Structure 1
Amino acid sequence: MRSHRIAALRLDEERLAADLAASEGFAYNDSYADFVSTGLLRSTMLWNQTGSLDESSLGDYEGSARPTPHGEALPYVSELIDRLFHTRYLKYARFMRLAPGSVYVPHRDFLELKGDMVRVHIPLQTDDSVFASEDDTVFRMRLGELWCLDATRTHSVGSFSARDRVHVVCDFTADSLQQVLVGELPAEPDVPAGNIALRPPLDEQRRSALLGLATILDEHTYQEVQTLLIKQHFLTEISGDEVFVLMKQIAARSGRTDLLDRATAHEEYCMVRR
């Protein structure tokens, strides 16, 4: 797995709580709704090209990011970003709230961008019922850990928690992680064994049961079937790519060519081009 933990941070709980409380009143957008199969992902820009909250999506541009009003309203988070990173390479910093019970459609990022990007996550509110994945590995990014995510690989997020997961996600244009970090990298990429989720194999009985969903698949149940498959990715040993394989197999068995076309087009959008 290319994603890895960079470091464990000591967070100031009191100052973090104040920033989290301030963020409750932010104006959020759902610009990443295309990748949420069920639930809700709300995000807002803390740093971007213009310093405006109206700029809500990623794009290529020259120069460094500017803080938005929401970034300026979070003094502790802004201090963390300034302390941890060389912000001249920063393009975007987003405050992202994932609602309980939400799951992402597996996808790859940066397909629409030209430059090399480095993505770093800072978990600010989470628990062990929230998972991330890369390819066929499912793992936890715990509170106060600093993670580098290879968003060009197939990845997803699944929350089985009772409260919002809150991360700051920073995207840099840089040749390497070392270029953007203040301080030295660890000697070896660190993926602690305790952060990896242990999942049983998807046995033939369960696979047959999933394929049997073809009997009830239609335009009204498509989203629920997709969500069920994504949850199986976090609960059993199937990769993010296999979610699409199973979705297409179920659609083909249903005899609905329109739904097979839908699954194929969605896979291309998430994995190949958009």
Structure 2
Amino acid sequence: MDSTLTTLAGQIAQLDAVDPAQLERMRHEALTAPAPWKAEYSTYQSGGWWTTSLMNGSGDAADVTIDDCAARPTGLLARMPATSALLADLGLNYMWVRLARLEANAFLWEHRDYDELDQVERHRLHIPLHTNTSAFLVTGGTKVHMTGGRIWRLTPTYAHGVCNLLGPDRIHLIADVYADDTYRRLARRPSLHPANAEPLPAAKETLLAERLQAARSMAELGYPEAAERMLLRLFYAYALPEGTVYDLIAELHTSLGDMEATTRWTAAKRRLLAITA
């Protein structure tokens, strides 16, 4: 890997392969199991992001707000034998395991994870079960399509966002695991292929000014939420300094004289990006 990919692999990387036949059985289970999908973390998303739990502290699949716990299987996992077998074979120390479904034209806005949890070493693993090439993650100014067939590791303490532009639904198994020797063996050879990582173009100041003016025009016509979303989506098209989209939205509302909205979006930036200073 070149130096850019090596750096990026600290944020997102491929680990071991998954047996194709088992992966297909897991995909079928994810698509057909009677899952109680929940729309949690509403401030982090556009709508269209749903999760259901396979392992957690309560054993209830509808309990989807992650926390530190000694995870145990939910009733849903009991109905998914291929998925249960893979999780058992990996032998990891699970904190939480979920299915996450992202619909077409849906976004998880730029954010960081784990800030509210105990400061212990943990890692997030993704196994793509059902995806498409318009579904990708953005981190470090690069968009990464997590292809099927491998276990991926995401370091969610780096600012990142996810989108599914065209569909069909993107469904991933997401396992948050505590670091131990089993995890370290799994993660001993992380890799990131250039075909999976596409650097986004830098956004010139003139372009950002044009988009901000377009958003202001939209808001003045009575569509402030659409204006906000237009600015939020810049994160998925351009390599931007961290938090730029939130700063643009705050600037939009300041220009409109709506200081309550400016304060709200400034606070949202601090919350979503876990800014404490």
Q: What range is the shorter-chain TM-score in?
A: 0.7 to 0.9
Query: 1: distance between equivalents of 2:89 and 2:271?
Result: 36
**SS state of the match for residue 219, structure 2?**
coil
In the TM superposition, residue 54 of structure 1 has moved relative to its aligned partner by: 4.3
Q: Choose which of 101, 105, 115 in structure 2 pairs with 1:97.
A: 101
Q: Which runs of no fewer than 5 residues in structure 1 stay unpaired?
A: none
**Residue 128 of structure 2 corresponds to residue 116 of structure 1:** no
In the TM superposition, residue 95 of structure 1 has moved relative to its aligned partner by: 0.6
CA deviation string 1:155-207 (max 9, x = no partner): 110111321000010011226xx542665621xx3121111124333234421
In the TM superposition, residue 130 of structure 1 has moved relative to its aligned partner by: 0.6
Query: 2: distance between equivalents of 1:48 and 1:72?
Result: 13
Identity %, equivalent residues: 23
> Is the contact made by 1:22 and 1:74 (CA closer than 8 Å) also made in structure 2?
no
The number of residue pairs the alignment matches comes to: 264
- Aligned partner of 1:16 in structure 2 is 26
- Aligned partner of 1:49 in structure 2 is 57
> Is the contact made by 1:5 and 1:147 (CA closer than 8 Å) also made in structure 2?
yes
Query: 2: distance between equivalents of 1:252 and 1:40?
Result: 29
**Residue 252 of structure 2 corresponds to residue 247 of structure 1:** no
With 10-19 and 125-134 compared, the bigger mean Cα shift is at 10-19
Query: 2: distance between equivalents of 1:263 and 1:16?
Result: 40
Query: 1: distance between equivalents of 2:163 and 2:123?
Result: 22
**SS state of the match for residue 26, structure 1?**
coil
**SS state of the match for residue 114, structure 2?**
coil
The amino acid across from 2:78 in the alignment is E
Query: 2: distance between equivalents of 1:71 and 1:229?
Result: 39
The amino acid across from 1:99 in the alignment is E
In the TM superposition, residue 228 of structure 1 has moved relative to its aligned partner by: 1.7
CA RMSD of aligned residues (A): 2.4
The amino acid across from 2:71 in the alignment is A
Query: 2: distance between equivalents of 1:70 and 1:219?
Result: 47
**SS state of the match for residue 162, structure 1?**
coil
CA deviation string 1:20-76 (max 9, x = no partner): 3323x3211112222112x31111100011212243211223xx3111011111111
**Residue 115 of structure 2 corresponds to residue 106 of structure 1:** no
Query: 2: distance between equivalents of 1:118 and 1:220?
Result: 43
With normalisation by structure 2, the TM-score equals: 0.86
Q: Which runs of no fewer than 5 residues in structure 2 stay unpaired?
A: 1-7
**SS state of the match for residue 105, structure 1?**
strand
1:221-236 matched pairs, under 5 angstroms: 221-236=223-238
- Hey, which bits of structure 1, 4+ residues long, moved more than 4 A? 181-184
Query: 1: distance between equivalents of 2:184 and 2:221?
Result: 47
**Residue 202 of structure 2 corresponds to residue 196 of structure 1:** no
- Aligned partner of 2:88 in structure 1 is 82
> Is the contact made by 1:106 and 1:154 (CA closer than 8 Å) also made in structure 2?
yes
